[in-house]
Amino acid sequence: MAAWGEPGVQPGSRRGERGVAATIKDVAAAAGVGIATVSRVFSGAGAVSAATRERVLAAARELDYRPSAVGRSLKTRRTGGLGLAVPDVTDPFCAELVAGVLDCARSLGQHVLLDVTLGDPAREAEIAERFAEQRVDGVIALPSGSGEPWSGFVRTGVPLVYAGRRPSGHPEGRQGRGGGGEAARARAGGGVPAVLADDAAGIRSAAEYLVGLGHRRIGFLGAPAPGAPPDAREDAFRAALAALGVPVEEDLVARARPTRDSAYAAAAGLLQRRSDLTAVLASGNLSGEAAVLVARELDLRVPADLSIAMVDDVAWAELCDPPLTAVARPGRDIGYRACELAARDTGRETGRRAPSGPVLLPTDLIVRGSCAPTPIRRDRARH
């Protein structure tokens, strides 16, 4: 780099030009403020008026100033960036959620560390520990099951936001079942912000639609695995049928782990065990896919023999023959809002309070050709 007075650097030229890096002191001088004010603008900590903030940012753009990530990490004892943990990036809903997080992070100048839990609590706990060791600024997580893997991370004080789903057994989501005390609340993620689809409303609309078509023997496919407490979707299914005067037969509730093999086994067991059911409501796209595959293998006509509806309006739902009725959840919006919330908490904007309850985004029932009125006579042979 040329020294001052050498060719290429003229007296009076600004830093940021001709390869001379601008410093925070240069930005402060150009904006007519103190160095501490510039620091507050770029850290997001502390109060700065809108006019002053814009003047500082304009000076930084003019000088092509780039805050030092190394210096910031030494001062804050954090490496920066956001952690993101999802069960499966090939799952269409997870992919949409990831895309939303990345869109938001890019707009905020944040980078994202992505990892996959594969629905394994032990792996999920390892990821949580790794994020804590890497001193990320915040984490967005789509929990696979209980909140136990994240209980240690919560104690670090680093912002954590659940996206798409709260842990099973969450005390605020188990109405009438009790919270189990502070320890249970911590394990289940009590107090952790969440951005969710309004699954209860989506399940209710699908159940009401099927009952309105005359169905009374409706299978629920994809409830939490045996031993796990019912989740919000199973609760909503039971509540919706009860409100409509339709009894819930336990034999029609099929449980599965969040894997394709488990979903397929649950669907096969349900449809072979109960040849008299007329409709299936799948709690997610994995169980919906399994219902379609098993119905095809059992030579069941959809919707003449069996109506199928599912949660998650993924791309392949419209390509099925017939296209599947589905509850659309805004995966990309959930990811974007969760990232905003994690980044906002990271910035310690004390003037804005975190939401006291989950942020609920609306769902839509997309009616297609996979559901029809139940036949007056159904005499289906057992397979």
Average pLDDT, the chain: 83
Which residue in this structure is represented by tokens 């095809």? 296
The average pLDDT across 146-156 equals 88
Q: Residue 94: pLDDT above 60?
A: yes
Whether the per-residue pLDDT at 169 is higher than 70: the answer is no
Segment 297-317 mean pLDDT: 96
pLDDT exceeds 70 at position 374: yes
State the amino acid at position 374 in one-letter form. Answer: T
- pLDDT of 217: 95
Q: What pLDDT, on the 0 to 100 scale, is given for residue 38?
A: 85
pLDDT of residue 8: 37
Q: What pLDDT does 173 receive? A: 43
How does strand 307-311 pair with strand 325-328? parallel
User: Has residue 86 got a pLDDT over 70?
Assistant: yes
User: Residue 38: which of 66, 76, 79 has the closest Cα?
Assistant: 66
Tokens 């320890």: give the residue. 183
pLDDT above 70 for 190: no
Q: For 308-339, how does the pLDDT look when each residue is reduced to its tens digit (9 = 90+)?
A: 999 999 999 999 999 999 999 999 999 999 99
Per the listing, tokens 């989506």 go with: 202
Q: What is the structure's pLDDT at 259? A: 84
pLDDT in tens, 109-147: 889 999 999 888 999 999 999 999 888 999 999 998 778
So what's the pLDDT on residue 303? 96
Cα 56 from Cα 171, distance rounded (Å): 45
224: left (phi over 0), alpha (psi -120 to 50) or beta: beta
Tell whether the model's pLDDT for residue 178 goes beyond 60.
no
pLDDT tens column, 202-256? 999 999 999 999 999 999 998 887 777 788 899 999 999 999 999 999 999 999 9
pLDDT digits (tens, 9 = 90+) for 4-62: 333 333 334 445 444 567 888 889 999 999 988 888 787 666 678 888 988 988 998 88
pLDDT at residue 61, rounded to an integer: 86
- Residue 44: name the closest of 364, 344, 359 by CA: 344
SS3 of 186-206: the string is HHCCCCCCEEEECHHHHHHHH
How far is residue 161's CA from residue 358's CA, in Å, rounded to a whole number? 10
pLDDT for 354 beyond 90:
no
Confidence at residue 290, expressed as pLDDT on a 0 to 100 scale: 97
For residue 344, the model assigns a pLDDT of 78
Over range 279-298, report the average pLDDT: 96
**Strands of 307-311's sheet, edge to edge?**
253-255, 218-223, 279-282, 307-311, 325-328, 364-366
Quickly count: other Cβ atoms within 10 Å of residue 68's Cβ: 13
Q: To the nearest whole percent, how much of the chain has pLDDT over 90?
A: 55
Report which of residues 191 and 358 the model is more confident about.
Answer: 358
Residue 68 confidence class, pLDDT cut points 50, 70, 90: low
- If one compares 383 and 296, the residue with the highest pLDDT of the two is 296
Tokens at 232, concatenated: 């919000």
pTM: predicted TM-score of the whole model, two decimal places:
0.72
Given a cut of 50, whether residue 378 has pLDDT beyond it is no
